[in-house]
């Protein structure tokens, strides 16, 4: 009898995809609503994003193993929605792959230069070589199998958790409740106006939806195991985010976020601001290691979803030749883009959030609605009935409103 893959492995793929380098932007983007407000927003986003992921699972189970968004959306929502959804998926996954190749390449370059340089001999491998190395090594795992991604992601998450615990232990130990609840605040004391603008960053922090068809295939259509791996994976991500908010917003006063916000939440600027309140020298190195693990695990999760989507879209089979073709279509465009524009991803990522809202919130809810009409007999149904479908659509619309309002400066932005 074939042994079922572990629940832990699937949860690690979900958690690894969700907890990317984007988490470093969370404390900055939620500085306006501060700790209690960010807690409410993170739990709200976690619930909606977990539910929308389960809605994809519900629809996916009515189609053959290996079927991804192209097959499912075309059949349930028609060609128009499939084109919109296909563009948004491809855009988000390719842009994220490009962003991770670029930032992972930069970290690979600095680690290798540091490792092989000596006082007499300075090694400089260059950004392009770092990106190439980072991409080739990790792409090999995706080419091999979902199981290889599961195993390697588990190792990366292990390293990430150790680095996270070591880097936040000192910060968590020195949390000041007056700072955390902003009871000694100086400056403005408005919170609510900044709630909507913080939503899109929270949404990007729980993106794992491209992995649902991969997990259906991985667990051989066992809905219960896929559902549990999604729930446990997103819950691990939520716990990590809450601890990180506690560590940062419990030490750095709200009014002191101005220089960090000015530099777009840059980790170096954040550590510099924190250094006034707590010694952060060793934390900087640990956070670099943490960011590297987070980028690598997210890269694997994102590209696994993109890989399965392309295989379904282009009808590439699961043979060595088929997987090689899928690998080339998955990794070559973002790699070439990264080599050509090594610093251009920040602008593109701003628009990725809007596309992610369509694909990770609105389309899953519409799929669940259409699926229930078309297939009255179901082996798995998401909780909450029609109310939950509209609840998730409202969440998506709020995110779109936030993105558009920020583009046109209709809403106030917290400056610190």
Query: Strand, helix or coil at 263?
Result: coil
DSSP string, 297-317: HHHHHHHHHHHHHHHHHHT--
> Is the pLDDT score of 326 beyond 70?
yes
3-state secondary structure 18-59: HCCHHHHHHHHHCCCCHHHHHHHHHHHHHHHHHHHHHHHHHH
Contact 46, 208 (CB under 8 A): no
Q: What span, in angstroms and rounded, lies between the C-alpha atoms of 82 and 309?
A: 13
Q: Give the pLDDT band (50/70/90) at residue 280.
A: low
Running DSSP on this structure, what letter comes out for residue 278?
Answer: S
- Pick from 65-79, 87-101, 266-280, 366-380: least confident: 266-280
Running DSSP on this structure, what letter comes out for residue 193?
Answer: G
> Is the pLDDT score of 188 beyond 70?
no
**3-class SS shares of the chain: helix, strand, coil, % to 5:** 75, 0, 25
What CATH fold (topology level) applies to the domain 7-408? Amino acid/polyamine transporter I (1.20.1740)
The angle formed by the CA atoms of residues 336, 353 and 25, to the nearest 5 degrees, is 90
Contact 92, 357 (CB under 8 A): no
Contact 254, 34 (CB under 8 A): yes
- Pick from 45-54, 225-234, 275-284: least confident: 275-284
Q: What span, in angstroms and rounded, lies between the C-alpha atoms of 218 and 340?
A: 35
Q: What span, in angstroms and rounded, lies between the C-alpha atoms of 365 and 383?
A: 12
Q: What is the pLDDT of residue 388?
A: 96
Q: What is the pLDDT of residue 397?
A: 94
How many CB atoms are located within 10 Å of the residue 404 CB? 12
* Beta strand segments in 230-358, E: none
Q: What is the pLDDT of residue 403?
A: 83
Tokens standing for residue 179:
């700072």
Q: Give the pLDDT band (50/70/90) at residue 48.
A: very high
| Mean predicted confidence (pLDDT) in 36-58 | 94
> Is the pLDDT score of 190 beyond 60?
yes
Among the listed residues 54, 370, 306, 34, the one whose alpha carbon sits nearest the alpha carbon of residue 195 = 34
Q: Quick: pLDDT tens for 169-180.
A: 877 887 878 878
- Pick from 201-205, 236-240, 378-382, 407-411: least confident: 407-411
> Is the pLDDT score of 368 beyond 90?
yes
Q: Give the pLDDT band (50/70/90) at residue 343.
A: low
DSSP string, 128-150: HHHHHHHHHHHHHHHHH-HHHHH
Q: What is the pLDDT of residue 256?
A: 76
Contact 206, 50 (CB under 8 A): yes
Tokens standing for residue 367:
């799929």
Q: Specify the residue for token string 């994809």.
A: 56
């Amino acid at each position: 009898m074939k042994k079922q893959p572990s629940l832990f492995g699937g949860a690690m793929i979900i958690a690894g995809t969700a907890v990317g380098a984007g988490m470093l932007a969370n404390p900055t983007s939620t500085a306006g609503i501060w700790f209690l407000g960010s807690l409410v927003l993170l739990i709200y986003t976690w619930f909606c994003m977990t539910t929308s992921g389960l809605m994809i699972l519900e629809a996916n189970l009515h189609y053959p193993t290996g079927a991804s968004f192209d097959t499912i959306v075309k059949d349930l929502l028609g060609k128009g929605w499939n084109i919109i959804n296909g563009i948004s998926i491809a855009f988000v996954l390719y842009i994220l792959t490009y962003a991770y190749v670029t930032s992972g390449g930069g970290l690979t370059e600095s680690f290798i230069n540091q490792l092989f340089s000596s006082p007499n001999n300075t090694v400089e491998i260059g950004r392009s070589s770092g990106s190439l190395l980072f991409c080739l090594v990790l792409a090999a795992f995706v080419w091999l199998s979902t199981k290889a991604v599961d195993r390697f992601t588990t190792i990366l998450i292990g390293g990430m958790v150790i680095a996270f615990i070591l880097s936040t232990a000192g910060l968590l130990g020195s949390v000041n409740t007056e700072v955390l609840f902003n009871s000694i605040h100086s400056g403005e004391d408005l919170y609510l106006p900044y709630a909507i603008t913080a939503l899109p960053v929270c949404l990007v922090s729980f993106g794992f939806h491209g992995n649902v068809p991969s997990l259906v295939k991985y667990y051989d259509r066992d809905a219960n195991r896929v559902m549990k791996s999604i729930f446990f994976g997103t819950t691990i991500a939520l716990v990590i985010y809450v601890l990180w908010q506690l560590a940062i917003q419990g030490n750095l006063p709200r009014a002191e976020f101005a220089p960090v916000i000015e530099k777009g939440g840059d980790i170096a600027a954040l550590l510099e601001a924190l250094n006034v309140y707590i010694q952060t020298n060793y934390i900087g190195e640990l956070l670099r290691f943490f960011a590297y693990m987070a980028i690598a695990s997210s890269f694997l999760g994102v590209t696994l979803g993109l890989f399965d989507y392309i295989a379904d879209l282009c009808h590439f089979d699961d043979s060595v030749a088929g997987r090689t073709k899928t690998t080339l279509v998955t990794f070559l465009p973002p790699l070439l883009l990264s080599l050509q524009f090594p610093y251009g991803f920040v602008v593109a990522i701003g628009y990725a959030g809007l596309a992610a809202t369509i694909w990770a919130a609105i389309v899953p809810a519409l799929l669940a609605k259409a699926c229930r009409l078309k297939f009255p007999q179901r082996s798995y149904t998401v909780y909450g009935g029609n109310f939950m479908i509209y609840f998730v659509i409202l969440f998506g619309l709020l995110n779109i409103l936030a993105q558009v309002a920020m583009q046109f400066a209709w809403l106030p932005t917290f400056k610190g």
